[in-house]
Structure 1
Amino acid sequence: MRGAPAEDISGDVPSSWTSLPGTYALYAAFSCLYALGMPGYGVPGLSFTCLVPLLVLSTTSDCARQAARRGFFAGTLANLLLVYWIAYTIAVPGNLGWLLGGLAALLISAYLAVYVSLAAVFAHRVRRRFGIAGLWAFPVAWVCLEYGRSVLFSGFPWLLLGYSLSEHVLLRQAADLAGVYGLGFLLAMANVCLYMAGAKAALGERRGILLHLAGAVAVAAFLLMYGAGGTAPESPGTPGEIVRVGIAQGNIDQTVKWDPDHQKETLRIYRAMTKEATQNGSEVVVWPETAAPFFYGWEPEMSAVVDAVAVENRVPLIFGAPWFDPSKGGRYYNSVFLLGARGIAEGRYDKRRLVPFGEYIPLRRLLFFLQKLTEGEEDFSAGRGPALFTVHGKPVGATVCYEAVFPGVVRESVREGATWLVNVTNDAWFGDTVAPHQHLAMARMRSVEFRRPLVRAANSGISAIIDERGEVSARLGLFRKGIIVADILPSTEETAYAKTGDIFAISCIIITILFLIIPGRRTHGNRSSVRKSRSA
């Protein structure tokens, strides 16, 4: 004989929601609300409600296994809308065909859905173990899983929930407290409040409805008031003088970029744009990732051309180029160089967070038959740490492409003393999809988290100059050739997130584990285990 569950949940939602059509509607609702609220689509406000359908799917499941299946299916659909561009990247620039490209997009969406599935299982279990009040732990578990996604298997923190606020000037400002994870926590909390309000509505408890709706409103109000309250106070130290920065966006076609016969033309384009930028007052000019498509320093003729650009314009250059280190059998790096106004290389940063299958093949001995998507047969190696540049007396922290989505990489540079940030990238791989817009939005969040201006140079766009509040002061769109010039104000402010790092996210992991191991209670107060609640 089967015993009663810890608490009857049939009253949480209308019975029609648990029917087969209702379940499919919930799948569609979660997928659309979650994806369309993210950068690239950018429908405002959806992230405050997007997790409610997932909570309904989870709590109305008959068992944890069903909750896992539902979460996995819903998560796959949602993420497929967000990372469909992977199919284009593999099929067109990678020349591997649409069949393989579509399969890769589906597999990565399924991988990301695993974390949504685990969130659904957690919601199901705490709902049954602790009653509806157990769902207040869901935001903690959500952050735990997002952090796990950011660090496991080299990490893929693409479009965490908090990024849905990246394009709203007021709502994103609280990122300087606990990073994008803190924003995700607050959004998940607002979603739980709305779920609770719905559950109270199903029971006809008007007071409970108003109380929980007030909780969701309080989350939004906190974000708005924090953002409006001057969250970028003047540093107690001297922030430094304004630096006028120029970006050269060459829009070099991927099909000819690495062609030796086209290298001189590429450098001619950047030479002309650098001259134009300096004529507009630029004190430093930034070129995109691998804008110099050769091994700088090892190819004297082409390297001399780059050196001459700095000398003739009397301006420092920050540019991307591959680098070869002959030590330890020879290693290849995706690097950023600082070239002084006298044509002398003054610094180099080697990319540390490499793109799997793009810049290297993981498990190379096992997957020996695969070839990376980028040019050349050899894998790139990862750099070993931050390397600050000094431009006009101010330390600058550099990142390359995908590294901008890792807060920890940027934080290391800030902790080392970087007063402004530069990110060089080549988003031509993404084509005219949502991905370049997503990539820019995530980079903007780094400016808010650490209160540092960010200069982002992209080969095919979107290049941008971003202030410490995440506002874009100048930009150049996709597939356009040209320059942008704007002023930035280097900063020495140290935010709460810069000081504490991911302590908040790690704390969420600990709390989640505790919720999974401590026993729950029946509604009359007797302790019970999950097994006892399932069978007499």
Structure 2
Amino acid sequence: MWRSRLLAAAIGAGLAPAFPVAGAWWWAWAGLAPLLVLLARAGSYRQAAWLSWCACAAFFTTLHHWVLPFLGIFAPLAIVVIGWVWVPFGLAAHGLLRRATPARVLMASLVLPSVWVVTEALRSWKHLGGAWGLLGAAQWRAPAVAQLAALGGVWLLSFVLVAVNTGIAAAVLPGAGRRTRLAGGGAALALTALAAGYGLLRPEPAVTGAMRVAGVQPGIVPGPERRVAEHLRLTRELAGRDHDVVVWGQSSVGLDPARRPDVDRRLRAASAEAGSDLLVNVDATGPTGRIAKTATHYTPAGVAGTYVKRRLAPFGEYIPLRPLLGWVAGATEAAERDRVTGAGPTVFEVAGRRIGPLISYESTFPDLRRELARLDVDVTIAQGSLTTFHGSWAHAQQASFEALRAIESGRPAVLVELDGTSAAFDARGRRLAWVPPDHRGVFVVGVPLSREATPYVRLGDWVPALATGVVAAAGAACAVRRLAGLRGRRPTH
């Protein structure tokens, strides 16, 4: 029993390299199959639950190991809780594959991906940490397959990957009949071909122009005065380099320009000297005494627009239910004060183009990018900062999100980090820039612009909605069969 649990943990941990930094994206197409075989051969539902818990806990511990030191004494509790995420999937897999037939394999190829997607959608709730570690996100480096995100978002990619893994597991399942193996292998091959075919046949969007985006990446600079000064110094290096906008990362300005006229003047002057508009990020106590993370659009004439961050990182930027959980700040590195939540999206008009701003953690959410696409932006620009997780896997993982967000929204995407991996992608998710976290200085990237109303932008999260319907129908059918079985066993008089 313990050997099977250790094996399940090894399988779960082995799936993590499909994501950055390792980037073995191809393993996501088969890495779940060994776990499905193990679940199918489990002796009971209870054992299947334990196996799926071990695999899930090992997967998230490996993939997000960089978070654990900041959780302090709560790290073991977090691992215990996160392990339950895959348990519904494990129970469903055991029930459908333990007596595999061609019909049950085909049913499993629909139900198991649906259970997986529903679970991913639920754990992506903004108060639970956002859409990190979604299986479909591993495909950002496979442009042909990644185009499925334009059809159904990252959710469709996850659905297809789990369905293919299910088919592979059925094809190699010990004791399965020939027809069962053929059904599983055939389904896996057909889905893989359809996924790649959609991407290869998808027409290129019409390019409407170009925008040159300059990024400033100074790294960790302690103290708000020194941080502003270093950003200003680097921005001066961009003078005469033919760009449309200069972007600073999250928390680049730790002083409120509304209360510091000298800072306001220096930012206006920086815009004038650089010869373009300037997007900074203010993270400071305002006149009301509260802190807001604000993307601020500067021109030589002053502030042209602002955007306040709407999705705050739980515990990092606020503590949920602070009256009850406020004591957590004393035991971890959780936020001592809650940030202000923004009211809605904003569009900045820059050099005749429409920019959709987002801030760091918000880059993980597909719906925010879809919302900006519906506002007809030309490009989305995210300001980030991963100083807390300096040198960790988080840098490449966050940068990789931009590729899928670009494909989903049909708009190019740019991420500028204060400290982290800055990146830019065109509307097809092709890499335009990849600035490593150890880079200190500036960069300029030419971004081809295009506007495309992708099916995902038009239809929204139809894949999680459909998956919910499939799970509900499967659950109802299971309940009906169980009730019928109980009635059949009742003694007659």
TM-score normalized by the length of structure 1: 0.84
Question: What corresponds to 1:217 in structure 2?
Answer: 189
* Match status 1:407 vs 2:388: no
Against the structure 1 CA distance between its residues 24 and 495, is the aligned structure 2 distance closer, same or farther, given a 3 Å change threshold?
same
Q: Is 1:135 paired with 2:97?
A: no
**5 Å matches for 1:110-149?**
110-127=80-97, 132-133=104-105, 134-136=107-109, 137-149=111-123
**2:175 aligned to which of 185, 202, 221:** 202
The residue number in structure 2 matching 1:489 is 448
In 2: Cα distance, 1:128 partner to 1:209 partner: 14
Q: Give matches, 1:64-463, under 5 Å.
A: 64-88=45-69, 90=70, 101=72, 103-127=73-97, 132-133=104-105, 134-136=107-109, 137-151=111-125, 153-199=127-173, 202-203=175-176, 205=178, 208-234=180-206, 240-253=208-221, 256-258=222-224, 263=225, 265-322=226-283, 324=285, 326=287, 330-340=289-299, 342-371=300-329, 377-463=336-422
Deviation at 1:454, TM superposition (A): 1.3
**Structure 2 match to 1:15:** none
Deviation at 1:154, TM superposition (A): 4.4
Asked whether the equivalents of residues 219 and 420 of structure 2 are also in contact (C-alpha less than 8 Å), the reply is yes
Q: Return 347-356 or 377-386, whichever deviates more.
A: 377-386
Give the match's secondary structure for 2:342. Answer: coil
Letter in 2 for 1:420: V
Pick aligned residue for 2:13 from 22, 25, 31: 31
8 Å Cα contact 2:390/2:419 also seen in 1: no
Decide whether aligned partners of structure 1 residues 534 and 476 sit closer, same or farther in structure 2, where only a CA change above 3 A counts: farther
Q: Which amino acid aligns with 1:167?
A: R
Letter aligned with residue 60 of structure 1: R
State which of 462, 470, 475 in structure 2 corresponds to 1:503: 462
Q: Which residue of 2 aligns with 1:95?
A: none
Q: Report the CA distance between 1:405 and its aligned residue.
A: 0.5
Query: Please, which moves more after superposition, 121-130 or 107-116?
Result: 121-130
Instruction: Give the Å deviation of 1:157.
Output: 1.6
Number of residue pairs the alignment of both structures matches: 486
Alignment of 1:512-531 (within 5 A): 512-519=471-478, 529=484
> Structure 1 residues 114, 230: closer, same or farther in 2, change over 3 A?
same
Report deviation, 1:194. 0.6
Write the distance in 2 (CA, Å) between the matches of 1:474 and 1:503. Answer: 31
Secondary structure in 1 aligned to 2:276?
coil
What does the per-residue CA deviation read over 1:415-450, in whole Å, with 9 as the maximum and x for residues that have no partner? 112110000011121121211111111222101111
Distance change >3 Å, CA 109–CA 447, structure 1 → 2: farther
Contact map agreement 1:267 1:306 (CA 8 A) in 2 = no
How far apart are 1:20 and its partner, in Å?
5.4
- Give a deviation string over 1:377-398, Cα, whole Å, max 9, x none: 4310211111111111221111
Identity of aligned residues (%): 27
Give the partner amino acid of 2:189: V
Question: What is the CA-CA distance between 1:529 and the residue it aligns to?
Answer: 4.8
User: Does the CA-based 8 Å contact 1:140-1:512 persist in structure 2?
Assistant: yes
Structure 1: 5+ residue stretches without partners? 1-18, 91-99
Partner-residue secondary structure (3-state), 1:307: helix
CA RMSD of aligned residues (A): 2.7
* Counterparts in 2 of 1:323 and 1:241: CA distance versus 1, 3 Å: farther
Deviation at 1:120, TM superposition (A): 0.9
| 1:3-43 C-alpha deviation (Å, 9 max, x unpaired) | xxxxxxxxxxxxxxxx75455334312331x2121222212
Corresponding residue for residue 7 of structure 1: none
- The unaligned stretches of length 5 or more in structure 2 are none
SS of residue matched to 2:405: helix
Residue 354 of structure 1 aligns with an amino acid whose one-letter code is L
Q: Secondary structure at the match of 2:125?
A: helix
Please give the alpha-carbon distance, in whole angstroms, between the structure 1 residues aligned to 2:261 and 2:350.
25
Shift of 1:480: 1.9
Structure 2 CA distance, aligned partners of 1:59 and 1:370? 41
Q: Deviations over 1:235-274 (max 9, x none)?
A: xxxx532111111111133xx134xxxx1x3333222322
- Given the two structures, how large is their TM-score scaled by the length of structure 2? 0.91
CA contact (8 A) 1:130 1:521 kept: no
Superposed displacement of residue 317, structure 1: 0.4
Does the 8 A contact of 2:363 with 2:401 survive in 1?
yes
CA distance in 2, matches of 1:535, 1:168: 56
Superposition deviation, residue 186 in structure 1: 0.4
Matched, 1:52 2:27: no
